[in-house]
């Protein structure tokens, strides 16, 4: 008889494949309740997952990876954060665990805003509200310069990238405003 590799329940157990494909054994037996929360099919119930305190010590890489992913999603709970501190994965396994990309839930949304608070998007045109001193270059980044087709810098809502005089530079959002008519 097989039981869930995480919570040890024997109800509704099926084989779950831990993705993405890596050199580890990916198949692990899990109950439906665990699977539904792992796959975001049902809402995460933090109090349900206390069994990770035991499951995370499994010898199976797939179970360790899943435990790491779930503890990350639960780390707002102090008990989960404590367990995560104790859970050591080697580099290869950690890379696999991270590969799901859902360890941070909810994921912080980076919103870029111009100096007036308008939300900026990829491809917007902006106007410089300050003459910028671009170090080590002769770029003419005077106030009023229009920068078209900007790119938002990921993970840093204070920065965008745009071309001035044909050169791509990073510009602080506080020194620009969205061009009217967009
Ligand atoms: Zn389970």
In this prediction the pTM is: 0.56
* pLDDT score of 182: 45
pLDDT for residue 103 is more than 70: no
Task: Determine the average pLDDT of the residues in 27-33.
Answer: 95
CATH of the domain at 159: 2.30.30.40
Report strand pairing: 27-31 vs 13-17.
antiparallel
Protein residues with C-beta less than 5 angstroms from the ion ligand 1: 4, 6-7, 9, 31, 34
Check pLDDT > 70 for residue 140.
Answer: yes
Residue ranges making up the domain that contains 80: 13-98
Q: Is the pLDDT of residue 16 over 60?
A: yes
Domain tally for the chain? 2
- For the cut 80, the answer to whether the pLDDT of residue 149 exceeds it is yes
Q: Report pLDDT for 151.
A: 92
Q: How far apart are the first and last CA of the chain?
A: 63
How many A from CA of 4 to the centre of ligand 1?
Answer: 5
Out of 81, 98, 115, a domain closes at 98
138/81 same-domain check: no
What spacing in Å lies between the alpha carbon of 87 and ligand 1's midpoint? Answer: 19
What does the pLDDT look like over 62-97, one tens digit per residue? 999 999 999 999 999 999 999 999 999 999 999 999
- Asked if residue 167 has pLDDT above 80, the reply is yes
Residue 153 inside a domain? The answer is: yes
Query: 141 C-alpha to center of ligand 1: Å?
Result: 59
What are 15's strand-pairing partners? 29
- Are 93 and 130 in the same domain? no
For residue 35, being part of any structural domain is answered with: yes
Query: Separation of 13 CA from ligand 1 center, angstroms?
Result: 8
CA of 99 to the centre of ligand 1 (A): 22
Distance 101 CA to ligand 1 centre (A): 21
* Residues counted in the chain: 182
Q: What is the mean pLDDT of residues 19-25?
A: 82
Are 94 and 131 part of one and the same domain? no
* Domain closes at, from 50, 78, 98: 98
Q: How far, in Å, is the centroid of ligand 1 from the Cα of 85?
A: 22
pLDDT band at 138 (very low <50, low <70, confident <90, very high): confident
Answer whether residue 113 is part of any domain: no
**Predicted local confidence at residue 22, as pLDDT:** 79
Are 74 and 20 in the same domain? Answer: yes
Q: Are residues 91 and 130 in the same domain?
A: no
CA of 106 to the centre of ligand 1 (A): 22
The rounded Å distance from CA 48 to ligand 1 centre is 10
What's the CA-to-centroid distance between 91 and ligand 1, angstroms? 26
**What pLDDT is attached to residue 64?**
96
């Amino acid at each position: 008889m097989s039981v869930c590799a995480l919570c040890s329940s024997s109800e509704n157990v099926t084989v779950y494949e831990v993705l993405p494909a890596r050199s580890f054994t990916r198949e692990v037996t899990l109950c439906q309740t665990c699977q539904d929360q792992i796959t975001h099919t049902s809402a995460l119930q933090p109090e349900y997952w206390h069994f990770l305190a035991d499951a995370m010590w499994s010898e199976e890489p797939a179970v360790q990876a899943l435990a790491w992913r779930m503890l990350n999603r639960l780390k707002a709970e102090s008990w989960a954060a404590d367990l995560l501190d104790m859970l050591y994965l080697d580099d290869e396994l950690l890379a696999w665990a991270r590969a799901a990309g859902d360890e941070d839930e909810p994921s912080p949304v980076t919103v870029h805003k111009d100096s007036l608070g308008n939300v900026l998007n990829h491809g917007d045109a902006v106007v410089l509200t300050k003459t910028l001193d671009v170090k080590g270059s002769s770029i003419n980044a005077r106030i009023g310069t229009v920068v078209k087709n900007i790119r938002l810098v990921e993970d840093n809502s204070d920065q965008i990238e745009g071309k001035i005089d044909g050169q791509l530079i990073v510009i602080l959002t506080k020194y620009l405003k969205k061009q009217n008519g967009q």
